[in-house]
Amino acid sequence: GQQVMQIPQYQHVQEGEDFTTYCNSSTTLSNIQWYKQRPGGHPVFLIQLVKSGEVKKQKRLTFQFGEAKKNSSLHITATQTTDVGTYFCLLRGGSNYKLTFGKGTLLTVNP
């Protein structure tokens, strides 16, 4: 079955430092989505990547989809305290509805 590894599990940074989380799949993906969940809150959709090698930017956030469509990364430049939360990737396999969330990366930011 589809396996996903998301690293790191935790990341603590000083405000202004950069942050990156990675998702790696054991199988080729049709697309990947990223979500953010604030402490005590619910996941909120950030972005979807579909094409091989795709790069998308949202202000200080940069999302990449690997050439082989088996891995993805989310990079935050110059973190702020509002970036605190857990970032999850959501993987969908190629030919079925199987949905798998990564375990998430909890980001904490020291002001």
Partner 1 sequence: NAGVMQNPRHLVRRRGQEARLRCSPMKGHSHVYWYRQLPEEGLKFMVYLQKENIIDESGMPKERFSAEFPKEGPSILRIQQVVRGDSAAYFCASSPPTGPSYEQYFGPGTRLTVT
Residues in contact with partner 1 by CB under 8 A are: 6, 30-31, 33, 35, 41-45, 48, 50, 86, 88, 90, 92, 96-104
Spatial CA neighbour of 81 closest among 109, 105, 100: 109
- The nearer residue to partner 1, 2 or 77, going by C-beta atoms, is 2
Q: How far is the CB of 42 from partner 1 (least distance, A)?
A: 4
DSSP state letter for 95: S
- Within 10 angstroms of residue 7's Cβ, the number of other Cβ atoms is 14
Residues 79/110, Cβ–Cβ less than 8 Å? no
Least distance between partner 1 and beta carbon 76 (Å): 19
Residue among 25 and 100 whose Cβ is closer to partner 1: 100
Shortest Å distance, C-beta 78 to partner 1: 26
For residue 101, the Cα-to-chain-centroid distance in whole angstroms is 10
